[in-house]
């Protein structure tokens, strides 16, 4: 495949507004990706994962297989709101490709397809290959991770085609994540005439923010971030409601349990009398840690890289992906098999053009070596 052909095939995938909540846009990507696998003669399924998200897409060359040699995973959603494509559609300069979700991870979706197309007929016949594309990775795969997990449990290994890191590294480990929403309920009152009758939900929230910031553990890499707060109706009303959203990241899954217990314990004793707090777990992604079987898979990847003339280096990164979920099931899982990219979730997001075709060859070599 020539790079120009690749870019023309990628453009209709990038130039669609398909943030996780833009379900009609995700459905467009699902339709286009399903057609590409149908054109290969593969068995395909478009799967309803609920009204909150777009559909998932599953494709395989062996629909009757009881076990797959490899499950390849990519996500179809982005983080960008409607109107982003109109503002900055896919573009290129002499070295890079730009556009919403270009690196994270429309190019990864296409790289999986191109790597499969590049397999010789003997390998395509010999191997049982599954591809799963989900619609809600950017919000933690809340509605799709069990669906992905069913295929992962039937697979010898999982390869996720998120972008390779900016230096070309692949990903062997990822932090786990949990997101909590805390709702505070106080009592409203006139801030001038009878402030003593009020119970400020915002004051309670403010105390929580300071306490939450102390729950981290730098030595273990556990961090907490109160990333969203809101509350109150007017400056002259003692606020009776407030809300905080907390993002927690951890390398050690035991930290997930420690943090969860600590936050629940905080609801038992209010800083402001008569204010109550309710904690809701919005999303949870377990930490991805390599096992002995994963290390064997890493050795195979390194050997394939050497044969393709691509230096293989590994990173452990703070962001999560679908590999976290599959690794937690005990299935050897590695990530970063898309082209090289960086500045994800920002207008500066890019893909290195000269990495696209080599990374397709690398992924195809890995698949054929299984």
Q: Is the dihedral of CA 212, 214, 215, 217 positive or negative?
A: positive
- What is the three-class DSSP state of 178? strand
Short-list 205, 191, 223, 332, CA closest to 275: 205
Residue with tokens 């709101």: 81
Q: Per residue in 155-171, pLDDT tens?
A: 999 999 999 999 999 99
* Mean pLDDT over each residue of the chain, to the nearest integer: 97
pLDDT value at position 319? 85
Half-sphere exposure of 286 (CA within 13 A, CB side): 15
**Residue ranges, the chain, pLDDT below 50:** none
pLDDT value at position 1? 83
CA 242 to chain centre: 28
Short-list 7, 12, 21, CA closest to 82: 21
Q: What whole-number distance in Å separates Cα of residue 201 and Cα of residue 186? A: 5
CA 80 to chain centre: 14
Within 10 A of 225 (CB to CB), how many other CB atoms are there?
14
- What is the three-class DSSP state of 345? coil
Phi, psi of 59, rounded to the nearest 5 degrees: -140, 145
Q: What whole-number distance in Å separates Cα of residue 263 and Cα of residue 259? A: 6
Q: Are strands 314-317 and 170-174 parallel, antiparallel or unpaired?
A: parallel
Largest interatomic CA distance in the chain: 83
Half-sphere exposure of 90 (CA within 13 A, CB side): 20
Classify burial at 248, counting beta carbons within 10 Å of its beta carbon; exposed 0-12, middle 13-18, buried 19 or more: buried
In the chain, DSSP assigns E strands to 43-47, 56-60, 70-75, 91-92, 96-98, 129-134, 158-160, 170-174, 176-185, 189-190, 223-231, 237-238, 241-250, 276-285, 314-317, 333-335, 341-342, 350-352
Sheet holding 241-250, edge to edge: 223-231, 241-250, 176-185, 276-285
End-to-end CA separation in angstroms for the chain? 23
CA dist list (Å): 261 to 248, 257, 266, 268, 284: 13, 6, 9, 11, 14
Half-sphere exposure of 109 (CA within 13 A, CB side): 32
Q: Per residue in 274-322, pLDDT tens?
A: 999 999 999 898 999 899 999 999 999 999 999 999 999 999 999 889 9
Q: What whole-number distance in Å separates Cα of residue 138 and Cα of residue 147? A: 16
Q: What whole-number distance in Å separates Cα of residue 152 and Cα of residue 150? A: 6
pLDDT value at position 283? 87
Q: What whole-number distance in Å separates Cα of residue 156 and Cα of residue 353? A: 31
pTM for the whole structure: 0.87
Q: What whole-number distance in Å separates Cα of residue 350 and Cα of residue 93? A: 10
């Amino acid at each position: 495949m020539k790079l120009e052909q690749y870019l023309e095939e990628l453009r209709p995938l990038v130039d669609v507004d398909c943030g996780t909540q833009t379900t009609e846009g995700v459905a467009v990507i699902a339709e286009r990706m399903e057609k590409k696998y149908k054109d290969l003669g593969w068995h395909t399924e478009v799967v309803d994962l609920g009204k909150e998200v777009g559909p998932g897409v599953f494709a395989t060359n062996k629909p009757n297989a009881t076990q797959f040699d490899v499950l390849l995973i990519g996500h179809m959603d982005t983080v960008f709101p409607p109107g982003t494509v109109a503002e900055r559609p896919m573009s290129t300069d002499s070295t890079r490709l730009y556009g919403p979700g270009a690196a994270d991870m429309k190019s990864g979706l296409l790289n999986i397809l191109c790597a499969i197309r590049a397999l010789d007929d003997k390998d395509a016949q010999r191997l049982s290959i599954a591809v799963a594309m989900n619609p809600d990775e950017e919000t933690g795969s809340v509605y799709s991770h069990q669906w992905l997990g069913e295929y992962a449990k039937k697979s010898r290994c999982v390869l996720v085609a998120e972008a390779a890191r900016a230096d070309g590294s692949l990903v062997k480990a990822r932090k786990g994540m949990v997101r909590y929403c805390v709702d505070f309920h106080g009592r409203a009152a006139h801030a001038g005439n009878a402030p003593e009758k009020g119970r400020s939900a915002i004051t309670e929230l403010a105390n929580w923010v300071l306490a939450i910031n102390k729950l981290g553990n730098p030595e273990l890499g556990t961090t907490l971030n109160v990333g969203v707060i809101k509350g109150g109706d007017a400056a002259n009303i003692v606020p009776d409601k407030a809300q905080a959203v907390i993002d927690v990241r951890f390398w050690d899954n035991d930290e997930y349990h420690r943090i969860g217990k600590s936050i629940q314990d905080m609801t038992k004793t209010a800083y402001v009398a008569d204010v109550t707090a309710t904690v809701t777990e919005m999303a949870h992604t377990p930490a991805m840690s390599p096992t002995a079987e994963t290390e064997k898979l890493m050795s195979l990847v390194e050997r394939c890289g050497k044969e393709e003339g691509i230096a293989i280096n590994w990173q452990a990164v703070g962001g999560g992906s679908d590999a976290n979920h599959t690794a937690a099931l005990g299935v050897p899982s590695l990530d970063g098999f898309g082209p090289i990219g960086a500045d994800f979730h920002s207008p500066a997001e890019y893909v290195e053009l000269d990495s696209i075709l080599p990374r397709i060859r690398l992924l195809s070599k890995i698949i054929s070596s299984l």
